[in-house]
Structure 1
Amino acid sequence: MTVVRIDAKDVRRLDDLLVAVGKHDRAAFVELYRISITRIRGRIRRTVIDWVQTEDIAQDFYFEIWQTAYRFDPAQSPAIAWMLRLAHARAVDRVRRLETSKRRESGPADRSGEAARDLFAESDDRDDAAQRIHAGLPQLSVLQRQALRLVYLEGNTNATAAQTLGITSAAFKSRLRDGVVALRHLLTAV
């Protein structure tokens, strides 16, 4: 990986340029872009990897620089440090947004509530379903039964149930989902 160095002269120049951009000086913005774009792209690329996303984030980044440069204080940090922090934050925001979007498209990670409702929906008779569920519970692991009991019988939220068991919310959701899937498998096999 090639690291583009900005020499001391350019560091001082960037400080002056960013202050000028804060006053909406277009010529300063063009020069700021010319001096910094390689470093900014490099910082974004280390986070995002995808070239198209890198370019898109860089474009958004410079738009944001144009709008927020007035906030820059050269007494607090060099312009390049301020800009690299901002570029990294934009890249991280994009990765998080993309991950959230992927999760949303593939459906919620915790489909246990939906799956449990489906257990009842598959049966015309709730009493029959309740008997089958009751009969299937002993075949589940103790941890799965415990998770199902805390949420579906006692009415706890996933967060409260996880706290009760002293485990992370993610671990609890996984346990709950496994219990629902196992119970569904038992009920559909009957």
Structure 2
Amino acid sequence: MIAERYEGELVARVAQGDRDAFEALYRQLLGPVGAVVRRVLRDQAQSEEVVQEVFLELWRTAARYRPERGSVHAWALTAAHHRAVDRVRAAQAGAERERAAALREYRPAYDSVAAEAERRIEDHAVRTALATLNPTQREALTLAYWGGCTQTRIATLLDTPLGTVKSRVRDGLRRLRAELA
């Protein structure tokens, strides 16, 4: 109880900018704050940085401390725990960003080679299947898919009724599907 009252008085003085009070509060809380941070982070260097951040936060927010909400000890340890968890989350997010960036850099070279090989195999299979179609179906499909023509445009180019072009495309696609299956 005496320690709580003493810490409360220190925080009130720190809120007014008293550096000596802050030094006394620092000595009082360094051990417990450091222990909480080390338990979460498990890395000495990072723990030291976070402890500094916690005490800087205590200095800046001392005026917001409310004794009715808990002891100074609990207030400081809660701040320490939150700050340490934030550091862990930031490290995890950074590692995830680095992993994602590495995957993005790695994939294009691999994917482009695989995609090119796959494209060549598919091209060969499509050419072989196209050779099985009758010439009118092959011509209609070639104009539609490689020439980018609409069926109406194909009918005009070939001087053929639109219904006939549609039938040739439909029948040609069915045969291609069967050949490629």
Interval containing the TM-score (normalised by the shorter chain): 0.5 to 0.7
> How far, CA to CA, are the matches of 1:74 and 1:30 in structure 2?
20
> How far, CA to CA, are the matches of 2:31 and 2:115 in structure 1?
62
Identity %: 30
| Corresponding residue of 1:86 | 79
Partner SS for 2:100: coil
Measured at CA, do residues 123 and 129 of structure 1 come closer, stay the same or move farther in structure 2, by a change above 3 Å? farther
| Corresponding residue of 1:49 | 42
The unaligned stretches of length 5 or more in structure 1 are 1-7, 133-190
1:74 counterpart = 2:67: yes
Partner SS for 1:100: helix
Going by fraction, where is helix more abundant, 1 or 2?
2
Letter in 1 for 2:85: V
Q: Deviations over 1:25-71 (max 9, x none)?
A: 11110110111111111111111111111111111111111111111
| Corresponding residue of 1:19 | 12
Structure showing greater radius of gyration is: 2
RMSD between superposed Cα atoms in Å: 3.0
- Report the TM-score when normalising by structure 2: 0.58
> How far, CA to CA, are the matches of 1:100 and 1:130 in structure 2?
40
The unaligned stretches of length 5 or more in structure 2 are 125-181
Please say if residues 48 and 54 of structure 1, whose CA atoms lie closer than 8 Å, have aligned partners that are also in contact.
Answer: yes
Among candidates 33, 39, 58, match of residue 40 of structure 1:
33
Please say if residues 57 and 91 of structure 1, whose CA atoms lie closer than 8 Å, have aligned partners that are also in contact.
Answer: yes
After TM superposition, the structure 1 = structure 2 runs for residues 1-190 of structure 1, keeping only pairs within 5 Å, are 8-105=1-98, 107-108=99-100, 111=103, 115=107, 119=111, 122-124=114-116, 127-128=119-120
> How far, CA to CA, are the matches of 2:110 and 2:96 in structure 1?
21
Deviation at 1:104, TM superposition (A): 2.6
- Report the TM-score when normalising by structure 1: 0.55
Measured at CA, do residues 86 and 130 of structure 1 come closer, stay the same or move farther in structure 2, by a change above 3 Å? farther
Q: Which runs of 4+ in 1 moved over 3 A?
A: 109-112, 114-132
> How far, CA to CA, are the matches of 2:12 and 2:121 in structure 1?
70
Letter in 2 for 1:47: V
> How far, CA to CA, are the matches of 1:63 and 1:124 in structure 2?
57
How many residues matched? Answer: 124
